[in-house]
Amino acid sequence: MNIIDILNKKKNKGILTKEEIEFVINEYVKGNIEDYQISALLMAICINGMSDTETFYLTEAMLNSGEKLNLSSIDGIKVDKHSTGGVGDKTTLIVAPLVAACGVNVAKMSGRGLGFTGGTIDKLESIPGFNVNLSTKNFMDQVKDIGLCICSGNKDLVPADKKIYAIRDVTATVDSIPLIASSIMSKKLASGCNKIVIDLKVGNGAFMKNLDEATKLAKLMISIGEYFNREVVCILSNMNEPLGYAVGNALEVNEAIDTLQGKGPEDLTKLCLYIASYMVLLSKNMVIDDAMKLVSSKFADGSAYNKFLEMVKYQHGNIDNIEISKNKVDVLAHETGFITEINTLKLGEIAGMLGAGRKVATDKIDPTVGLVIHKKVGDIVSQNMPIVTVYYNKPVENIEEQVYECFSFSKVKKDKDDLVYKIIK
């Protein structure tokens, strides 16, 4: 068996065997297959696709490329949550303590961001003193003590995905549905949870630009779950505008804190209640109405916020000293009218230019910068009204013009799209 034969087979639309896929993944992780050879295979997969069975085998090979977390010593069903990422997505910071407040153990290993803003771990690190680097033992002990822990992912989990994703990111193969599905599911399976809820973003600020492609991805991830005897629920949610108002690490943490105190944006609050309800439903075998009632009660009575504070204290953070840049500028409306569209991807890229995100893994994030959006689709604005506040530490040329160009206006109001398009399970 050799990589050239496998490349030729996939180039000619052949179906790879389990043994061939295992060979490629194992030899690549060992360093016996070159990056340029993997790049060729990824492009062939991107162009010619993979069968569901091939995708199952790819997920399994990636899963088996490293360690797997064993959560069996933690009582009860363990439910994990994943988001496919978007602009202003800080849901984990709200959902995890909310679900834990409902009596469900949340043992979550999260990652750093590559793109618009930081990942969950980068956001948490904007809390002074917050320790994201826990040993597996300390991680497990904290979950047993308080029912909640979010920390940095074990570097030995799914090393194949880390290597392959770095190649996908620079070879225009990020948007392949089989590659997305196997990447997400291998990491979720390695995290040791029994059941998985996936918030699958759809829109101009997400990988999945339309509902048809997102539905295909959701169904494939659910099929992968069935192959591994895991229950998966996909929530397809709107990413045609930023989620909430804050885009940027410390800004998003502050918005998450406000939301846990009942003072957050309506869209962010609603989506978090949806995600949390399905996590509780899966763990407690409830119907959705009962799960929603339980989640809503724990949100309203402050239990979720108190659980968040408990986690922050355990991990030595201090939310009283979260730093936001003192340098800011308002972007003003040039005209009076209704906002009809937001270029969400471009707004995310601007946040990255400010320093809120990273282009490569070694880039250093500035947690204090970002954007706060004051007006969204369907809102009316008057001339000279602030629509965005930009927080910065380094100058970005024509920043106000760049931000303003992300917004389209009309004299006629446009209704908002649904926040949640559909639930697939």
Q: Mind listing the pLDDT tens digit of every residue in the chain (425 residues)?
A: 899 999 999 999 999 999 999 999 999 999 999 999 999 999 999 999 999 999 999 999 999 999 999 999 998 888 899 998 889 999 999 999 999 999 999 999 888 776 667 789 999 999 999 999 999 899 999 999 999 999 987 778 999 998 998 888 788 888 899 999 999 999 999 999 889 999 999 999 988 999 999 999 999 999 999 999 999 999 999 999 999 999 999 999 999 999 999 999 999 999 999 999 999 999 988 899 999 999 999 999 999 999 999 999 999 999 999 999 999 999 999 999 999 999 999 999 999 999 998 877 778 899 999 999 999 999 999 999 999 999 999 988 899 999 999 999 999 998 889 999 999 99
Which residue of the set 80, 122, 161, 258 is catalytic? 161
> What is the DSSP code (8-state) at residue 273?
H
CATH 3.90.1170.30 domain locations along the chain: 324-410
Asked about 183 being catalytic, the answer comes back as yes
- List b or e across 264-296, with b for residues whose CB sees 16 or more CB atoms inside 10 angstroms: bbebbbebbbbbbbbbbbbbbebeeeebbebbe
Sequence-distant (≥ 6) Cβ neighbours of residue 174 within 8 angstroms = 168, 180, 207
Assess whether 301 carries a catalytic annotation: no
- How far is residue 15's CA from residue 73's CA, in Å, rounded to a whole number? 40
Instruction: Tell me the two tokens of residue 115.
Output: 């793109």
Q: List every span in the chain annotated with CATH 3.40.1030.10.
A: 79-155+167-320
Helices (H), 261-416: 266-284, 288-300, 303-314, 344-354, 399-404
Q: Which of 123, 163, 187, 201 is catalytic?
A: 187
Write the CATH number of the domain with boundaries 79-155+167-320. Answer: 3.40.1030.10
C-alpha neighbours within 13 Å on the C-beta side of residue 14? 14
Regarding the domain delimited by 324-410, which CATH topology (the fold level of the hierarchy) does it fall under?
Aldehyde Oxidoreductase; domain 3 (3.90.1170)
Architecture (CATH level 2) of domain 3-49: Up-down Bundle (1.20)
- How does strand 328-332 pair with strand 386-391? antiparallel
Please, are residues 97 and 305 in contact by the beta-carbon 8 Å criterion? yes
Q: Is 334 a catalytic residue?
A: no
Contact yes or no for 7/44 (Cβ under 8 A): yes
Selected catalytic residue, list 168, 201, 307, 375: 168
Radius of gyration for the alpha carbons in the chain, expressed in angstroms and rounded: 21
Cβ density class 190-199: b for 16+ within 10 Å, e for less: bbbbebbbbb
Degrees, nearest 5: CA angle 230-281-91:
90
Going by their DSSP bridges, the two strands 148-152 and 106-110 should be labelled as: parallel
Catalytic residue among 183, 237, 283, 303: 183
